[in-house]
Amino acid sequence: MKLVIKNSDIDIKRTFQCGQCFRWKQDADGVFRAIVGGKQITARETADGVVVESEHSRGFLENYFDLNTDYGEYIRRFSADPVLKSACGHSAGIRILRQEPFETLIGFIISQNNNIPRISGIIERLCENFGERADGGFAFPSAKRLSGITAEELAPLRAGFRARYIADAVRRVNSGETDLESVYAMPLGNAREYLKQIVGVGDKVADCVLLFAFHKLDAFPKDVWVRRVMAEYYPNGLPECTRGAEGVAQQYLFDSIRADGLIKV
Protein backbone atom coordinates (compact mmCIF):
# COMPACT_ATOMS: atom_id res chain seq x y z
CA MET A 1 0.00 0.00 0.00
CA LYS A 2 1.28 3.43 -0.94
CA LEU A 3 -0.40 6.53 0.37
CA VAL A 4 0.36 10.16 -0.40
CA ILE A 5 -0.65 12.85 2.08
CA LYS A 6 -0.65 16.53 1.21
CA ASN A 7 2.32 18.32 2.75
CA SER A 8 -0.02 20.85 4.31
CA ASP A 9 -1.89 18.07 6.14
CA ILE A 10 1.03 16.59 8.08
CA ASP A 11 4.51 17.42 9.33
CA ILE A 12 5.98 13.96 9.90
CA LYS A 13 9.06 15.21 11.71
CA ARG A 14 6.95 16.98 14.30
CA THR A 15 4.32 14.24 14.43
CA PHE A 16 6.93 11.57 15.13
CA GLN A 17 9.15 13.66 17.40
CA CYS A 18 6.58 15.47 19.52
CA GLY A 19 6.74 12.87 22.25
CA GLN A 20 3.57 10.89 21.51
CA CYS A 21 5.45 7.90 20.07
CA PHE A 22 8.87 6.41 20.72
CA ARG A 23 9.62 3.99 17.88
CA TRP A 24 9.74 6.21 14.78
CA LYS A 25 13.32 6.81 13.71
CA GLN A 26 14.77 8.83 10.87
CA ASP A 27 17.51 7.19 8.84
CA ALA A 28 20.44 8.95 7.23
CA ASP A 29 18.49 9.04 3.97
CA GLY A 30 15.79 11.11 5.69
CA VAL A 31 13.19 8.35 5.65
CA PHE A 32 11.21 7.70 8.83
CA ARG A 33 10.66 4.03 9.70
CA ALA A 34 8.82 2.17 12.43
CA ILE A 35 7.27 -1.20 13.08
CA VAL A 36 3.60 -0.63 13.82
CA GLY A 37 1.18 -3.46 14.38
CA GLY A 38 3.93 -5.94 13.46
CA LYS A 39 4.59 -4.43 10.03
CA GLN A 40 6.98 -1.79 8.88
CA ILE A 41 5.76 1.62 7.80
CA THR A 42 8.00 4.12 6.04
CA ALA A 43 7.23 7.80 5.57
CA ARG A 44 9.18 10.41 3.65
CA GLU A 45 8.65 13.96 2.55
CA THR A 46 8.66 14.72 -1.15
CA ALA A 47 7.71 17.74 -3.21
CA ASP A 48 4.48 15.95 -4.13
CA GLY A 49 3.53 15.17 -0.54
CA VAL A 50 4.34 12.79 2.25
CA VAL A 51 4.70 9.28 0.86
CA VAL A 52 3.67 6.51 3.25
CA GLU A 53 4.39 2.89 2.34
CA SER A 54 3.46 -0.28 4.16
CA GLU A 55 1.89 -3.70 3.84
CA HIS A 56 -0.87 -2.41 6.07
CA SER A 57 -4.16 -1.57 4.38
CA ARG A 58 -5.24 1.92 3.48
CA GLY A 59 -7.85 1.78 6.22
CA PHE A 60 -5.25 0.91 8.84
CA LEU A 61 -3.01 3.77 7.79
CA GLU A 62 -5.84 6.30 7.59
CA ASN A 63 -6.87 5.32 11.10
CA TYR A 64 -3.31 5.33 12.46
CA PHE A 65 -2.51 8.76 11.05
CA ASP A 66 -6.01 10.10 11.80
CA LEU A 67 -6.36 11.22 8.19
CA ASN A 68 -10.09 11.82 8.29
CA THR A 69 -9.71 14.71 10.70
CA ASP A 70 -9.22 18.29 9.56
CA TYR A 71 -6.60 19.73 11.91
CA GLY A 72 -7.01 23.13 10.26
CA GLU A 73 -10.34 23.27 12.04
CA TYR A 74 -8.62 22.89 15.44
CA ILE A 75 -6.06 25.54 14.55
CA ARG A 76 -8.81 27.99 13.56
CA ARG A 77 -10.56 27.39 16.87
CA PHE A 78 -7.41 27.64 18.99
CA SER A 79 -6.33 30.84 17.24
CA ALA A 80 -8.92 32.75 19.29
CA ASP A 81 -6.30 32.57 22.05
CA PRO A 82 -3.02 34.44 21.41
CA VAL A 83 -0.72 31.95 23.17
CA LEU A 84 -2.25 28.97 21.38
CA LYS A 85 -2.22 30.86 18.11
CA SER A 86 1.53 31.23 18.49
CA ALA A 87 1.91 27.55 19.40
CA CYS A 88 -0.15 26.49 16.38
CA GLY A 89 2.04 28.65 14.15
CA HIS A 90 5.10 26.83 15.39
CA SER A 91 3.71 23.29 15.62
CA ALA A 92 1.26 23.04 12.72
CA GLY A 93 1.28 19.64 11.05
CA ILE A 94 1.27 17.58 14.24
CA ARG A 95 -1.42 14.88 14.16
CA ILE A 96 -2.50 12.72 17.08
CA LEU A 97 -1.79 9.10 16.12
CA ARG A 98 -4.02 6.17 17.07
CA GLN A 99 -1.44 3.83 18.58
CA GLU A 100 -1.79 0.35 19.99
CA PRO A 101 -3.12 0.49 23.58
CA PHE A 102 -0.75 -2.05 25.19
CA GLU A 103 2.32 -0.62 23.52
CA THR A 104 1.31 2.91 24.49
CA LEU A 105 0.60 1.85 28.07
CA ILE A 106 4.04 0.27 28.49
CA GLY A 107 5.72 3.17 26.70
CA PHE A 108 4.30 5.79 29.03
CA ILE A 109 4.89 3.68 32.13
CA ILE A 110 8.53 3.77 31.06
CA SER A 111 8.30 7.52 30.46
CA GLN A 112 7.89 8.50 34.10
CA ASN A 113 10.71 10.59 35.51
CA ASN A 114 12.64 9.86 32.33
CA ASN A 115 13.71 11.57 29.12
CA ILE A 116 12.69 10.82 25.57
CA PRO A 117 16.00 9.43 24.22
CA ARG A 118 16.32 7.00 27.11
CA ILE A 119 12.63 6.01 26.87
CA SER A 120 13.24 5.10 23.23
CA GLY A 121 16.31 3.08 24.19
CA ILE A 122 14.47 1.05 26.83
CA ILE A 123 11.61 0.33 24.42
CA GLU A 124 14.06 -0.67 21.72
CA ARG A 125 15.69 -3.17 24.08
CA LEU A 126 12.24 -4.46 25.05
CA CYS A 127 11.47 -5.15 21.38
CA GLU A 128 14.87 -6.67 20.60
CA ASN A 129 14.79 -8.95 23.64
CA PHE A 130 11.16 -10.03 23.59
CA GLY A 131 9.51 -8.97 20.32
CA GLU A 132 8.96 -11.05 17.22
CA ARG A 133 11.31 -10.45 14.36
CA ALA A 134 9.58 -8.38 11.70
CA ASP A 135 10.55 -6.95 8.35
CA GLY A 136 13.18 -4.34 9.16
CA GLY A 137 13.31 -4.83 12.91
CA PHE A 138 11.34 -6.17 15.82
CA ALA A 139 7.66 -5.87 16.66
CA PHE A 140 6.59 -4.51 20.01
CA PRO A 141 5.93 -7.64 22.11
CA SER A 142 2.30 -8.37 22.90
CA ALA A 143 1.10 -8.84 26.47
CA LYS A 144 0.60 -12.52 25.73
CA ARG A 145 4.17 -12.84 24.54
CA LEU A 146 5.41 -11.24 27.77
CA SER A 147 3.13 -13.42 29.86
CA GLY A 148 4.61 -14.34 33.24
CA ILE A 149 7.59 -12.04 32.92
CA THR A 150 9.17 -10.77 36.13
CA ALA A 151 10.95 -7.53 36.94
CA GLU A 152 14.22 -9.49 37.18
CA GLU A 153 13.79 -10.86 33.68
CA LEU A 154 13.34 -7.31 32.42
CA ALA A 155 16.79 -6.32 33.71
CA PRO A 156 18.36 -6.13 30.21
CA LEU A 157 16.09 -3.15 29.50
CA ARG A 158 17.80 -1.13 32.26
CA ALA A 159 14.41 0.38 33.05
CA GLY A 160 15.27 0.82 36.72
CA PHE A 161 12.41 1.01 39.20
CA ARG A 162 9.91 0.90 36.32
CA ALA A 163 10.57 -2.81 35.66
CA ARG A 164 8.09 -3.95 38.30
CA TYR A 165 5.49 -1.56 36.90
CA ILE A 166 5.88 -3.16 33.47
CA ALA A 167 5.57 -6.62 35.02
CA ASP A 168 2.41 -5.62 36.86
CA ALA A 169 0.82 -4.16 33.73
CA VAL A 170 1.60 -7.34 31.76
CA ARG A 171 0.12 -9.49 34.51
CA ARG A 172 -3.08 -7.44 34.72
CA VAL A 173 -3.65 -7.37 30.97
CA ASN A 174 -3.10 -11.12 30.65
CA SER A 175 -5.35 -11.99 33.57
CA GLY A 176 -8.13 -9.85 32.15
CA GLU A 177 -8.09 -7.73 35.28
CA THR A 178 -7.37 -4.89 32.87
CA ASP A 179 -9.34 -5.14 29.63
CA LEU A 180 -7.82 -2.50 27.38
CA GLU A 181 -10.46 -2.93 24.66
CA SER A 182 -13.17 -1.89 27.09
CA VAL A 183 -11.49 1.49 27.61
CA TYR A 184 -12.54 2.73 24.15
CA ALA A 185 -16.16 2.99 25.30
CA MET A 186 -15.43 4.66 28.66
CA PRO A 187 -15.79 8.39 29.24
CA LEU A 188 -12.55 10.14 30.19
CA GLY A 189 -12.94 10.16 33.97
CA ASN A 190 -13.89 6.49 34.25
CA ALA A 191 -11.17 5.48 31.82
CA ARG A 192 -8.54 7.37 33.80
CA GLU A 193 -9.54 5.75 37.11
CA TYR A 194 -9.62 2.35 35.42
CA LEU A 195 -6.07 2.65 34.08
CA LYS A 196 -4.81 4.04 37.39
CA GLN A 197 -5.51 0.66 38.98
CA ILE A 198 -2.27 -0.47 37.32
CA VAL A 199 0.70 0.07 39.62
CA GLY A 200 2.87 2.80 38.16
CA VAL A 201 0.05 4.50 36.30
CA GLY A 202 -1.01 7.89 37.67
CA ASP A 203 -2.94 10.80 36.16
CA LYS A 204 -0.28 11.83 33.67
CA VAL A 205 0.55 8.37 32.30
CA ALA A 206 -3.15 7.51 32.11
CA ASP A 207 -3.93 10.69 30.18
CA CYS A 208 -1.10 10.03 27.73
CA VAL A 209 -2.43 6.55 27.00
CA LEU A 210 -5.98 7.87 26.67
CA LEU A 211 -4.86 10.55 24.23
CA PHE A 212 -2.25 8.72 22.15
CA ALA A 213 -3.85 5.26 21.99
CA PHE A 214 -7.56 5.65 22.67
CA HIS A 215 -7.73 9.02 20.94
CA LYS A 216 -9.64 10.67 23.77
CA LEU A 217 -8.98 14.24 22.69
CA ASP A 218 -10.33 15.70 25.92
CA ALA A 219 -7.44 14.11 27.86
CA PHE A 220 -4.85 16.71 28.89
CA PRO A 221 -1.61 15.13 30.15
CA LYS A 222 0.27 17.48 32.47
CA ASP A 223 4.00 16.80 32.46
CA VAL A 224 6.66 19.19 33.76
CA TRP A 225 6.69 21.20 30.52
CA VAL A 226 2.94 21.65 30.32
CA ARG A 227 2.87 22.62 33.99
CA ARG A 228 5.31 25.41 33.16
CA VAL A 229 3.06 26.61 30.33
CA MET A 230 0.03 26.51 32.58
CA ALA A 231 1.74 28.39 35.40
CA GLU A 232 3.03 31.09 33.08
CA TYR A 233 0.17 31.59 30.63
CA TYR A 234 -2.96 29.91 32.02
CA PRO A 235 -3.03 30.25 35.81
CA ASN A 236 -6.84 30.04 35.68
CA GLY A 237 -7.02 27.04 33.33
CA LEU A 238 -7.25 26.47 29.60
CA PRO A 239 -9.24 28.90 27.45
CA GLU A 240 -12.76 28.02 26.30
CA CYS A 241 -11.68 27.52 22.67
CA THR A 242 -9.92 24.26 23.58
CA ARG A 243 -13.06 22.61 24.99
CA GLY A 244 -13.32 19.00 23.86
CA ALA A 245 -9.92 19.08 22.13
CA GLU A 246 -7.66 19.84 25.09
CA GLY A 247 -5.33 17.03 24.10
CA VAL A 248 -4.69 18.48 20.66
CA ALA A 249 -3.96 21.87 22.20
CA GLN A 250 -1.68 20.14 24.68
CA GLN A 251 0.48 18.71 21.90
CA TYR A 252 0.90 22.11 20.23
CA LEU A 253 1.84 23.68 23.56
CA PHE A 254 4.20 20.84 24.54
CA ASP A 255 5.99 20.87 21.20
CA SER A 256 6.32 24.66 21.15
CA ILE A 257 7.58 25.09 24.69
CA ARG A 258 10.07 22.27 24.30
CA ALA A 259 11.40 23.26 20.91
CA ASP A 260 11.79 26.97 21.44
CA GLY A 261 12.03 27.12 25.20
CA LEU A 262 9.22 29.60 25.10
CA ILE A 263 6.10 30.57 23.27
CA LYS A 264 6.26 33.91 21.54
CA VAL A 265 3.06 35.86 21.90
Partner DNA sequence: ACCCAGGGTAACT
Partner DNA sequence: AGTTACCATGGG
Residues that bind DNA (CB under 7 A): 18-20, 108, 111-119, 158-161, 196, 199-206, 208, 221-226, 250-251, 254, 258
Find all residues with CB under 8 Å of 35, minimum gap 6, and list them.
23, 41, 127, 134, 135, 136, 137, 138, 139, 140
Residue 144 Cα distances to 37, 72, 114, 170, 173, angstroms: 15, 40, 26, 8, 8
Q: For residues 142 and 256, which CB has a smaller minimum distance to DNA in the complex?
A: 256
Least gap, CB of 185 to DNA (angstroms): 22
Q: For residues 96 and 139, which CB has a smaller minimum distance to DNA in the complex?
A: 96
Q: For residues 72 and 202, which CB has a smaller minimum distance to DNA in the complex?
A: 202
Measured distance CA(23)–CA(134) in Å, rounded: 14
Q: For residues 7 and 112, which CB has a smaller minimum distance to DNA in the complex?
A: 112
Least gap, CB of 191 to DNA (angstroms): 14
Q: For residues 117 and 148, which CB has a smaller minimum distance to DNA in the complex?
A: 117
Q: Where are the alpha helices (DSSP H) in 185-245?
A: 188-195, 203-212, 224-233
Measured distance CA(13)–CA(43) in Å, rounded: 10
Q: For residues 134 and 151, which CB has a smaller minimum distance to DNA in the complex?
A: 151
User: What are the φ and ψ backbone dihedral angles of 34, each rounded to 5 degrees?
Assistant: -160, 155
Please, are residues 10 and 95 in contact by the beta-carbon 8 Å criterion? yes
User: 49 has which bridge partners?
Assistant: 46
Least gap, CB of 18 to DNA (angstroms): 5
Least gap, CB of 53 to DNA (angstroms): 25
Least gap, CB of 44 to DNA (angstroms): 23
Q: For residues 59 and 244, which CB has a smaller minimum distance to DNA in the complex?
A: 244
Least gap, CB of 253 to DNA (angstroms): 8
List the one residue out of 211, 188, 181 whose CA is nearest residue 95. 211
Measured distance CA(226)–CA(77) in Å, rounded: 20
In the chain the first and final C-alpha atoms are separated, in Å, by 42
Least gap, CB of 2 to DNA (angstroms): 28
Measured distance CA(183)–CA(171) in Å, rounded: 17
